[in-house]
Amino acid sequence: MKRIRVTRTSGALVASLALAGVVPIAQAQQAAAASPPPMTAQEKEIGKKVYFERCAGCHGVLRKGATGKNLEPHWTKKLPDGSTQEGGTLKLGTARLDKIIGLGTEGGMVNYDDILTKEEIDIMARYIQQVPDVPPEFSLKDMEASWKLLVPVDQRPKKPQHKVNLKNIFAVTLRDTGELALIDGDTKQIWQILKTGYAVHISRLSASGRYVYTVGRDGLVTLIDLWYEKPTTVASIKLGADARSVDTSKFKGFEDKYLIGGGYWPPQYSIMEGETLKPLKVVSTRGMTVDGEYHPEPRVASIVASHIKPEWVVNIKETGQILLVDYSDIKNLKTTTIESAKFLHDGGWDASKRYFLVAANASHKVAAVDTKTGKLAALVDTKKIPHPGRGANFVHPQFGPVWATGHLGDAVVSLISTASDKKEHAKYKANNWKVVQELKMPGAGNLFVKTHPKSKNLWADLPMNPERENAESVYVFTMTDLSKPPLKIDVAKDSGLPVTKALRRAVHPEYSEDGSEVWISLWGGKTNQSAIVVYEDKTMKVKKVITDPKMITPTGKFNVYNTQHDIY
């Protein structure tokens, strides 16, 4: 019998085929259920833009989920008869999706009713019931076409043209304007604001500390030279449609030579010249997960540069694979693949810079990689959805060296015992790669924890918590007595800015170069005034509020010296 294959046809056509005996009735019903709510072309364009800017990072371009849930149509739409259950599977539908988008969830998704209009929320509730759009691929030739060398190396300054203390400069993301503010940490004055990619995810420093690299969520990388009298963008390049991470080559003999960038879409990483951004190589990350299944969108999450080898640690989110990429010979690239767990996200070095710890947030684990041996040291069970940022290192009074991570899905900060080669730490070995203590927080929704070698405090934010009093505050633990509850600091109140309906989320504690100050972003809406509130670390008192009409939606802040040397 000749088979007829039907693909992406309408529910009505499949129903007709079913009546004719060509396809089964069940298949006809399934196809009818695949008919999404109607949308105009203009509404689809709005949905596409909002999804890219606000949703794709957690849920994926193809909506298969990672940190956020799977948003494919097979479970976002109701059945043809309007029911919301099928074999125990919840079918959300427009009304339920509207509420989730507007009010947020306890799992760490923020409420968008103070970010999006009611019309935009309605559009998004219908948009995520449509078949996902698949963006185009992005090749080495595409990178070459996007590359702009604005100032050749031989035309740049031979020495700094100013007396600014570069070690204490803060690179501050102005998320919604697609800009980077460089702020003098000594004077608290804005030194320069430069155009970058949209919603810069991170800023990284070259090994020499001269260059700042930014990567936007639109895949645009910018190279900023700090030696000019006013910092200047000297090169830019596109990595693709969506990106999150870059880092430089830091090993001796390779300082400032290479830059690596990780793509969310397409799922691949790219290697460029460090001083010009000239593209050299593109490597796909599509492949098999640790469970042995093929995944079409294994995005590159965090990337860090080793201090002990000419290697980058490249974390592949959906596959749960950690790559050690040897950049000593770019033409003949050598890669070590380490199996861990899904879905890999952010992470940071332990105090020795030998072990890299990264959150596998969907598995509720932290993977520890021994970069000296090139093997997995441990998979550590944590509470729900660990989200460390870079984490925080300190010596616990009872358990020795520990690395801290907060959680999007649970109200604790977990302290993990890390291995150490120091003789005085040998007595703690039995606790290595175990959670030795959980510090209680007032709720879930933490994004970043931070400390400094010269500090006795551990700072933790709660920007993703649905309660205003938590989202607008930070919490400070005293490391000499971790039995005490944390001190709550109301950053929004301390800013002196007028109260608005929209939240101003306190996010991303960052220390000054000498460890004496902690800078907190107060992230308001695009039309509401935001600020950076600077605290004295010892007293936890406000030292300065940095606010300016141009300070729009500040989020991540990266101190030059601490970022250059991976101090956290």
Q: What secondary structure does DSSP assign to 446-511, as a single string? A: ---EE--TT-SEEEEE-TT-SSHHHHTEEEEEETT-TTSPPEEEEHHHHHTPPP-SS--EEEEEEE
Burial (0-12, 13-18, 19+ Cβ within 10 Å), 154: exposed
AA identity, residue 385: I
Q: List the structure tokens of 410.
A: 């649970």
Question: Can 387 be counted among the known catalytic residues?
Answer: yes
E strands, 61-208, in order: 85-86, 89-90, 148-149, 169-174, 179-184, 190-195, 202-205
Whether 109 is catalytic is yes
> Which of helix, strand or coil describes residue 119?
helix
Cβ contacts of residue 316 below 8 Å, gap of 6+?
Answer: 267, 285, 298, 299, 300, 301, 322, 323, 344
Amino acid at 342: K
Which of 201, 364, 387, 407 is flagged as catalytic?
387
Report how far residue 396's alpha carbon sits from residue 445's, in angstroms, rounded to the nearest whole number: 24
**Number of other CB atoms surrounding residue 295 within 10 Å:** 21
Residues whose CB falls within 8 Å of the CB of residue 557, separated by 6 or more in sequence, listed in order = 170, 171, 172, 173, 508, 510, 519, 521, 532
Number of H-type helices and E-type strands within the chain? 11, 37
Candidates 151, 164, 152, 220; CA nearest to 192 is: 164
Determine which one of 1, 39, 55, 407 is catalytic: 55
What is the side-by-side strand order in the sheet with 258-265? 242-248, 258-265, 268-273, 279-284
* Residue located via tokens 């509730």: 125
Instruction: Reply yes or no: is the peptide bond before residue 343 cis, omega within 30 of 0.
Output: yes
User: Which residue is catalytic, options 59, 364, 425, 452?
Assistant: 59
- Whether the upstream peptide bond of residue 37 has omega within 30° of 0, thus cis, is no
Catalytic site includes residue 59:
yes
What's the Cα-to-Cα distance from 31 to each of 17, 25, 281, 508, rounded to whole Å? 11, 10, 42, 46
List 201, 295, 345, 364, catalytic entry: 345
Q: What is the largest CA-CA distance in the chain?
A: 83
What is the separation, in whole angstroms, between the first and last Cα of the chain? 67
Active-site hit among 109, 464, 479, 551: 109
- Alpha-carbon distance 452 to 472, whole Å? 23
With vertex at residue 134, the alpha carbon angle to CA 267 and CA 81, rounded to the nearest 5 degrees, is 125
Cα–Cα distances (Å) from 479 to 181, 395, 399, 404, 457, in that order, read: 32, 9, 12, 12, 6
Alpha carbon distance 177, 197 (integer Å): 9
Assess whether 345 carries a catalytic annotation.
Answer: yes
* Residues acting as catalytic residues: 55, 58-59, 109, 345, 387
